[in-house]
Structure 1
Amino acid sequence: MVRDLTRSHPRCKDELDRLAKILVSDLDRVSAAVVTRVLTEIPELGSPDSETSWETTMASGIGNIGALMSMMTYGVPANAGIEPPEGALEFFRAMIGRGADITAILRAYRIGHAELWNQWMRVVSEGIENLEDLPEILTVSSAHMFSYMDSVCERLVAEYEPERRRQLTSAAAQRVATAQAIVAGEDVDVDSAGARLNYRLRRHHVALVLWPASRRVEAQGTEGLERYAFALAEELGTECPLLVPASRGCVWAWLGAADARRLAPVIAAEPPPAGVAVAAGAVGHGLEGFRESHRQAVEARRVCGLRERPPTDVVHYRSVSLLAALCTDPASAQRFLVSELGELNGPDEATRRLRTTLGTFLEVGSSHARAARVLGIHQKTVAYRVHRAEDLLGYRITDRRAPLEAALLLSAFLEG
């Protein structure tokens, strides 16, 4: 049971009041001793040499010690439901923001309590006027300190999860807003934006757009997509990726590195897991590279959306840049196919084989022999199919080679 300060002997109460005032008069030194011990014994809360860590923890120490002593002086019960001091709440919020868990925060209070008791014992032993009052003073002050610390810690435990969720939500919303501002071309300060994103912008980047390509992955939310982005970053040996949720279950991601060569292997990356689709931009540098690589990844994603089936490999913008230009307007792209291919645009399997053969023939330099080797058929079959394709086109392939190759490329891509 907590000893009631108001029921202590009047002389002891006066002595407590006097001794508490002695400690409060030296509050800065006492708080500094408490803070030094806390930061030394719990390095994850920050270093005593860090100005930010020191100021935040000092504000908490001064607030808590001042409140505790004032309550003891005026006989206010330590568990009276008084709100923790603002400095203590700022320390609490700052520690959560740095990733400290509730265990570390409560340990800081226990260590701080131990050091405060040492400081209080020093004041009492040096300043007490009547040694007969010592047992009563120590009993009452100890009970008061323990009760105050218990009350504050109970409140912090209750507030930890709501505050952590609030900070996570706030930080996530800030990252989304900042990334959207950058890719929209808004004028932003690169260092401030990088701090909000927790991602360094003054380096090389590769942007990705990830989206679910199966109902199983879609049901997982963004978990499967984010897992792949982290796995790719680990494979490349880069820092953690920047991940930003986008619309319709998509995720925007950026991988960053000081050396552009570290990002080059994205081109040869292993296929993503089943159900995960990925589009990638080219390597860019700085804020503009961050923005342009994302634009390219979004374009590659848009082109993939025109296909009959989702991609199974990472789709790089460089491999579909021509298609992206051709498919700016999907309706116009379809009209282009019909106009250029005519009857060769038919959906049946025989006509598809003619398109494939003609496309391969043009790709290998109009060589029947090379096309035959690539396709694994006789070169006379290649010659027949090319001739048959020209009949369906209604013109010789040498007459409109460039638009014909573009149309065949587009057709092959859309068919998946």
Structure 2
Amino acid sequence: MTDAESELQGIAALIAERAAELTSYLVVEFGKRIPELPTDPSLVDLLNGSASSNLETLAHLLRGHVPIDEIQAPAAAVEYARRLAQRGTPPSALLRAYRLGQQLILRWASEEIARRVGDPALALQTSNLLTDTSFQYVDAVSEDVMGAYLTERERWLANRSAVQRETVEALLRGDRMDVGATEAALGYRLRQHHLGLVLWSAGADNGLADSERLLARLAQRVGSGHPLFVPRDRDTAWAWLPIGRTADVDLDAVAEVLAADGGGIRVALGVPDAGEQGFRASHLGAAAAHDVAQLGQYDAEVISYADPTVRAAALLVRDMDSTRRMVARTLGELATDSESAARMRETLLAFLEDRESFVATAARLHLHKNTVKYRVDRAVEARGKPLGEERLDLELALIACRWLGPEVLRPATS
């Protein structure tokens, strides 16, 4: 045994002797420097047990009682990692605790070595040996606890997701359910206003993870609490944003978040509503808007059921054969899938929505009113019927073309 190893055993004995004091010191520092760690008493008790058992195991290693290749994470440390996984604490917080703990113990031990070892060269050798051994320890143990964390997180999420899916499906069926038990199963409060969403990836990798992160950012911007996220498949998720006591949602803010952080994720929004019925109704609206977007291959980042033309399109998709016949009969040559026909249809629908005002339509579309009149006249000519004839069918047909596109249009001839 070298002199440095002998000195290191003395430090190990000191760690064992002062374990309670050092444990308290570490736990206090973790609380100050790692805000992500839970602070409720039960988790703090587990953190104390984890820190204490890690110090005890490190002392055994420094004394040479156990070889490094046989070191395993203490049971208390593994249990703490599992509980963090259940709480959804970021794994980075757990790893940071180990790095910080190593840093603090090395600093304390270096001061003790400086006091105990008079020979500077021997003190340096002892410190270097301590540093190397502690890195080996943290490397081995952190791998164990991270494995336990990830395994528990996967199991916990799978079980929780299954319960959430079953509970959500029962709510959407309208089953009679105890509100308190339902809220506990969902981890979400029903007695408030909700905004239902459907999120899906537009060819992006890791779609569900991106969708969940986007939902969290939306909740920070327009929500009033923790959202509910329920995966449906690898690309699609249902979600609900709690919006508190009001049905008002800043759709401009939603659009801003999507424009800045969407990352290939598309969102269909329902109409805000309250309570259990509102939970169901807002989701059904979002799901209907999602159907419209999917069928029409809609490429914008957000589509909202609050838009009356989306609501109309959602009804039209239920019988696509009838919708196609209505579009062809009502629009004539205006139902051609071409850029020029699309411009005329867009202008004509805006013109009808603006009560046939050339000035209002020009302002909406940022066109000269003479351009609006020219397009409207051409659209009427292509249709082959005056505007007043089958007026309701005309508006519905134009709405179908706007949202469903090639699904209801006649291919352009070359």
| TM more than 0.5 | yes
User: What SS is found at the alignment partner of 1:334?
Assistant: helix
| Structure 2 partner of 1:359 | 349
Deviation at 1:388, TM superposition (A): 2.4
Change (3 A) 1:330 1:31: farther
Change (3 A) 1:231 1:102: closer
Change (3 A) 1:414 1:31: same
**Separation in structure 1 between the aligned mates of residue 51 and residue 362 of structure 2, nearest angstrom:** 82
Deviation at 1:211, TM superposition (A): 2.9
**Separation in structure 2 between the aligned mates of residue 267 and residue 103 of structure 1, nearest angstrom:** 35
Task: Say whether 1:250 aligns with 2:236.
Answer: yes
5+ residue gaps, structure 1, are 3-29, 72-76, 113-148
Q: Which amino acid aligns with 1:282?
A: V
Contact 1:92 1:105 in 2 (8 A): no
| Structure 2 partner of 1:346 | 336
**Separation in structure 2 between the aligned mates of residue 378 and residue 83 of structure 1, nearest angstrom:** 77
| Structure 2 partner of 1:297 | 286
Alpha-carbon displacement from aligned partner over 1:280-327 (angstroms, at most 9, x marks no partner): 12223455544433332222121012225512x521111111211111
The aligned length equals: 349
Contact 1:212 1:276 in 2 (8 A): yes
| Structure 2 partner of 1:333 | 323
Deviation at 1:55, TM superposition (A): 5.7
**Separation in structure 2 between the aligned mates of residue 413 and residue 84 of structure 1, nearest angstrom:** 58
Change (3 A) 1:365 1:84: closer
Q: 1:193 aligns with which of 185, 198, 208?
A: 185
User: What SS is found at the alignment partner of 1:282?
Assistant: coil
**Separation in structure 1 between the aligned mates of residue 153 and residue 94 of structure 2, nearest angstrom:** 14
Task: Say whether 1:269 aligns with 2:245.
Answer: no
Change (3 A) 1:385 1:151: closer
Alpha-carbon displacement from aligned partner over 1:181-201 (angstroms, at most 9, x marks no partner): 344235572332244xxx555
**Separation in structure 1 between the aligned mates of residue 335 and residue 38 of structure 2, nearest angstrom:** 67
| 1:170-249 correspondence runs (5 A) | 170-186=155-171, 187=177, 189-195=181-187, 201-213=190-202, 215=203, 218-219=204-205, 221-222=207-208, 225-226=211-212, 228-236=214-222, 242-249=228-235
**Separation in structure 1 between the aligned mates of residue 322 and residue 53 of structure 2, nearest angstrom:** 69
| Structure 1 partner of 2:401 | 411
Change (3 A) 1:207 1:190: same
**Separation in structure 2 between the aligned mates of residue 67 and residue 361 of structure 1, nearest angstrom:** 78
Deviation at 1:408, TM superposition (A): 1.5
**Separation in structure 2 between the aligned mates of residue 57 and residue 228 of structure 1, nearest angstrom:** 32
Change (3 A) 1:38 1:284: farther
| Structure 2 partner of 1:93 | 82
Q: Which amino acid aligns with 1:193?
A: A
Q: TM-score, normalised by structure 1?
A: 0.61
Alpha-carbon displacement from aligned partner over 1:185-228 (angstroms, at most 9, x marks no partner): 35572332244xxx555543323333333x5xx24645654554
User: What SS is found at the alignment partner of 1:260?
Assistant: coil
**Separation in structure 1 between the aligned mates of residue 47 and residue 212 of structure 2, nearest angstrom:** 35
Q: Which amino acid aligns with 2:242?
A: G
Q: 1:316 aligns with which of 304, 319, 323?
A: 304
Contact 2:53 2:77 in 1 (8 A): yes
Q: TM-score, normalised by structure 2?
A: 0.61
Contact 2:221 2:253 in 1 (8 A): no
**Separation in structure 2 between the aligned mates of residue 87 and residue 349 of structure 1, nearest angstrom:** 67
Task: Say whether 1:158 aligns with 2:143.
Answer: yes
Change (3 A) 1:330 1:182: farther
**Separation in structure 1 between the aligned mates of residue 44 and residue 265 of structure 2, nearest angstrom:** 46
User: What SS is found at the alignment partner of 1:185?
Assistant: helix
Deviation at 1:34, TM superposition (A): 8.8
Identity of aligned residues (%): 28
**Separation in structure 1 between the aligned mates of residue 47 and residue 377 of structure 2, nearest angstrom:** 83
5+ residue gaps, structure 2, are 3-17, 106-133, 172-176, 407-414
Greater radius of gyration (CA): 1
Change (3 A) 1:155 1:286: farther
**Separation in structure 1 between the aligned mates of residue 298 and residue 278 of structure 2, nearest angstrom:** 30
Aligned-CA RMSD value: 5.2
Contact 1:337 1:345 in 2 (8 A): yes
